[in-house]
Amino acid sequence: MHPLRYPPSMTADHDRVRALLGPVGAWTFTFDGRGADRIAADVAAIEAMGCAALWIPEGGGSNDVLTNLGWALASTERLTMASGIANISARQPEV
Protein backbone atom coordinates (compact mmCIF):
# COMPACT_ATOMS: atom_id res chain seq x y z
CA MET A 1 0.00 0.00 0.00
CA HIS A 2 1.15 3.53 -0.77
CA PRO A 3 2.57 5.26 2.32
CA LEU A 4 0.02 8.10 2.06
CA ARG A 5 -3.37 7.55 3.62
CA TYR A 6 -6.42 7.98 1.41
CA PRO A 7 -7.80 10.53 1.71
CA PRO A 8 -4.75 12.36 3.03
CA SER A 9 -5.39 13.84 6.45
CA MET A 10 -5.50 17.59 6.83
CA THR A 11 -3.02 19.05 9.27
CA ALA A 12 -2.70 22.31 11.13
CA ASP A 13 -0.33 23.42 8.34
CA HIS A 14 -3.11 22.91 5.80
CA ASP A 15 -5.47 24.96 7.95
CA ARG A 16 -2.94 27.81 8.16
CA VAL A 17 -2.47 27.87 4.38
CA ARG A 18 -6.24 27.87 3.80
CA ALA A 19 -6.60 30.77 6.25
CA LEU A 20 -3.88 32.75 4.43
CA LEU A 21 -5.43 32.15 1.01
CA GLY A 22 -9.00 32.87 2.03
CA PRO A 23 -11.79 32.16 -0.44
CA VAL A 24 -9.97 31.89 -3.76
CA GLY A 25 -12.90 31.58 -6.11
CA ALA A 26 -16.14 29.99 -7.18
CA TRP A 27 -17.11 27.73 -10.07
CA THR A 28 -20.81 27.56 -10.79
CA PHE A 29 -23.52 26.51 -13.23
CA THR A 30 -25.87 28.86 -11.32
CA PHE A 31 -26.16 31.27 -14.24
CA ASP A 32 -27.81 28.72 -16.56
CA GLY A 33 -31.10 30.12 -17.84
CA ARG A 34 -30.88 33.30 -15.75
CA GLY A 35 -31.16 36.85 -17.01
CA ALA A 36 -28.74 39.70 -16.47
CA ASP A 37 -30.52 40.94 -13.32
CA ARG A 38 -30.30 37.55 -11.58
CA ILE A 39 -26.67 37.13 -12.63
CA ALA A 40 -25.88 40.56 -11.15
CA ALA A 41 -27.40 39.45 -7.83
CA ASP A 42 -25.43 36.18 -7.94
CA VAL A 43 -22.18 38.05 -8.62
CA ALA A 44 -22.87 40.36 -5.67
CA ALA A 45 -23.37 37.31 -3.42
CA ILE A 46 -20.13 35.72 -4.65
CA GLU A 47 -18.25 38.97 -4.01
CA ALA A 48 -19.79 39.19 -0.52
CA MET A 49 -18.33 35.74 0.25
CA GLY A 50 -14.87 37.22 -0.36
CA CYS A 51 -14.05 35.30 -3.53
CA ALA A 52 -11.47 36.79 -5.86
CA ALA A 53 -12.34 34.79 -8.99
CA LEU A 54 -15.33 33.24 -10.73
CA TRP A 55 -15.35 30.46 -13.31
CA ILE A 56 -18.48 29.96 -15.41
CA PRO A 57 -18.88 26.82 -17.54
CA GLU A 58 -21.01 26.38 -20.63
CA GLY A 59 -23.35 23.41 -20.67
CA GLY A 60 -25.74 21.96 -23.21
CA GLY A 61 -28.75 23.94 -22.00
CA SER A 62 -27.04 27.04 -20.66
CA ASN A 63 -26.92 30.58 -21.92
CA ASP A 64 -23.92 31.35 -24.10
CA VAL A 65 -20.96 31.46 -21.71
CA LEU A 66 -19.55 34.62 -23.30
CA THR A 67 -22.90 36.38 -22.78
CA ASN A 68 -22.98 35.22 -19.15
CA LEU A 69 -19.41 36.47 -18.66
CA GLY A 70 -20.34 39.83 -20.16
CA TRP A 71 -23.33 40.21 -17.85
CA ALA A 72 -21.26 39.10 -14.85
CA LEU A 73 -18.35 41.42 -15.69
CA ALA A 74 -20.77 44.35 -15.95
CA SER A 75 -21.80 43.59 -12.36
CA THR A 76 -18.37 43.65 -10.68
CA GLU A 77 -15.38 45.90 -10.28
CA ARG A 78 -13.00 43.38 -8.71
CA LEU A 79 -13.77 39.74 -9.61
CA THR A 80 -11.46 37.98 -12.03
CA MET A 81 -13.56 35.82 -14.36
CA ALA A 82 -12.99 33.01 -16.80
CA SER A 83 -14.98 30.49 -18.74
CA GLY A 84 -14.54 27.03 -17.29
CA ILE A 85 -15.66 25.59 -20.62
CA ALA A 86 -16.45 27.32 -23.92
CA ASN A 87 -17.75 24.74 -26.38
CA ILE A 88 -16.27 25.26 -29.83
CA SER A 89 -19.29 23.57 -31.43
CA ALA A 90 -21.55 26.26 -29.94
CA ARG A 91 -19.76 28.96 -31.97
CA GLN A 92 -20.53 29.83 -35.60
CA PRO A 93 -19.68 28.87 -38.23
CA GLU A 94 -19.69 25.21 -37.38
CA VAL A 95 -17.23 23.17 -39.38
Q: Is the pLDDT of residue 9 over 70?
A: no
Residue 68 has φ and ψ, to the nearest 5°, of -60, -45
pLDDT tens-place string over residues 52-95: 999 988 876 667 888 889 999 999 989 999 987 777 776 677 55
Q: What is the pTM of this model?
A: 0.69
Which of the four pLDDT bands, split at 50, 70 and 90, describes residue 10? low
DSSP E strand boundaries for 1-95 = 25-27, 53-56, 80-83
Cα separation, 95 vs 92, in Å, equals 8
